[in-house]
Structure 1
Amino acid sequence: MKQIIKPILALCLAAVLTACGNSNFASRAAMPDDTMLGNSVPDVRIESFTVSVPNSLTVNERNLYYPVGDIVWRGDPRGDRRQQVKAIFETGVRAAAQLVEGNRPVRMDVQVTRFHALSEKARYITGGVHDIDFKYRLIDTETGLQIGETKDVNADLEALAGRRAIDAEQQGLTQKSRITAHLAEVIQTELSVPGGYKNRDLGILQVINQIR
């Protein structure tokens, strides 16, 4: 039922806007929760990292206002979308690693749980939200023990549309570059600020994204 309701809501919203003129990691046993970090800041630096995009995540290539699926991505030529999403996360984590300067060396294991950007139709008509979710754990590279709990992160980003999207692209600000920079900021914040990253309030389109 949700799969029927969600695209209908998105389509109705698209009509209004147009009228206005404008998983878990591979194994839970391999992901034990150690001590709780709470609101403290881990004194860590990212020595290495892994990124996984499970095959269980569904990919939707249909050009609808709101394609139902876990992965919707149009910022690269058509191909293996899971590998493309993985590459974006790897670049983001690598950039964040240059900015996190703690004393304790860790491996950061990241698993993507959702990467829903915009379809072509939504990008040039309605706009929306890049709905990005992932989870991560930190492993002490010296002891092999997990630091704190495995944490889920919501990292939504406003998606540009229409003239704004075109103008941004002409300045080199593609969907890919914006999302990559955003992920780097999110991960740096997670490892540098008490309580970690707080997802932004992006309005009704973000609410629609939560209907799954």
Structure 2
Amino acid sequence: MKNIRVAMLALAAVAVSACAGPQAATRNAVSASPNEATALTQPQSNTQSSVAKKSGDNLYIPDVNIARITVSVPKTLKVSEKNTYYPNGDIIWRGDLFGDRHAQVEAILQNSAEQAAANLQGARPAHMHIQLTRFHGLTEKARYSTGGVHNINFYVTLLDPVTGETIRPAEHVVTNLDALRGTEAIQADTLGNTQKFRITTFLAGVLAAEIGEPEGYNDENRGFFVALNRN
């Protein structure tokens, strides 16, 4: 019985080591404040008009047209290139060749936001600003063994594109996308369904829901790795 218990604990330890989000999977999760160096994420006002309504803790702005997109990936976010199951870092990304990881994940967020904006064709122009707080893809070691989740978290702020006034204060969005692993991941790569493609498409849907739906986006991933990393 003792040997069985030791084996189960070892298995759980390996599972936890796969990259996943330790934050509670909720849009209202307690998190670090937006980086003060990025002024756009600092709410200037919380004025509600007849075109804005409160839905839970989310200020919903209906009929939005995204006229401008900006993305901030603060240099203070730590990058890890260690090929371990769960590196200590804010940005863990292997879906591009080795290079400027801040710039690479910024490009992913920009592309995702542009795809989301194509589905937000309302009458009220808005400037969508995104500030990354965490981008965890999988390391090679985790991707080809234990698997895990892609945990990507960020603030989204809506501003008036002309005056710069905040029309929807910064909301922290927490996301977890189940990652492919092993043979499945290799086969997906050959078909073009890479980590980068999957994450970009996923985040486009997240942003479209966050801005375009009254309840915003809620991470409903209750998978094994998410649950383990929440404890």
Please classify the TM superposition score into its range, dividing by the shorter chain length.
0.7 to 0.9
Paired residues of 1:11 and 1:66 also in contact (CA < 8 A): no
Listed as ranges, the gaps of 5+ residues in structure 1 are 1-7, 18-22
Hey, what's the Cα distance between the residues in 2 that align with 1:111 and 1:76? Answer: 21
Change (3 A) 1:128 1:187: same
Hey, what's the Cα distance between the residues in 2 that align with 1:99 and 1:9? Answer: 46
Partner of 1:24 in structure 2?
A: 34
Deviation (angstroms), 1:140 = 1.2
- Counterparts of 1:150-169 in structure 2, within 5 Å, are 150-169=170-189
2:65 corresponds to 1:53: no
2:50 corresponds to 1:38: no
Change (3 A) 1:191 1:15: closer
Paired residues of 2:70 and 2:129 also in contact (CA < 8 A): yes
Cα deviation per residue 1:161-196 (whole Å; 9 max; x = unaligned)?
011111211211000000000111001111111110
Hey, what's the Cα distance between the residues in 1 that align with 2:61 and 2:163? Answer: 19
Change (3 A) 1:128 1:16: closer
Partner of 1:12 in structure 2?
A: 13
Partner of 2:146 in structure 1?
A: 126
Paired residues of 2:15 and 2:225 also in contact (CA < 8 A): no
Deviation (angstroms), 1:143 = 3.6
Deviation (angstroms), 1:50 = 0.6
Hey, what's the Cα distance between the residues in 1 that align with 2:107 and 2:191? Answer: 22
Hey, what's the Cα distance between the residues in 1 that align with 2:155 and 2:196? Answer: 20
Paired residues of 1:134 and 1:153 also in contact (CA < 8 A): yes
- Counterparts of 1:65-84 in structure 2, within 5 Å, are 65-84=85-104
Hey, what's the Cα distance between the residues in 1 that align with 2:38 and 2:171? Answer: 13
Hey, what's the Cα distance between the residues in 2 that align with 1:49 and 1:61? Answer: 29
Q: CA RMSD in A?
A: 2.5
Aligned amino acid, residue 54 of structure 2: G
Change (3 A) 1:10 1:67: farther
Equivalent position SS for 2:187: helix
Listed as ranges, the gaps of 5+ residues in structure 2 are 1-8, 19-32
Paired residues of 1:38 and 1:195 also in contact (CA < 8 A): no
The higher-RCO structure (CA 8 Å, 6+ apart) is 2
Cα deviation per residue 1:95-117 (whole Å; 9 max; x = unaligned)?
11111011111111110000011
Cα deviation per residue 1:144-175 (whole Å; 9 max; x = unaligned)?
31112210001211111011111211211000
Query: Which of 131, 155, 175 lines up with 2:195 in the alignment?
Result: 175
TM-score for both structures, normalised by structure 1 = 0.85
Equivalent position SS for 1:100: coil
Partner of 2:112 in structure 1?
A: 92
Partner of 1:117 in structure 2?
A: 137
Hey, what's the Cα distance between the residues in 2 that align with 1:126 and 1:90? Answer: 30
Partner of 1:138 in structure 2?
A: 158
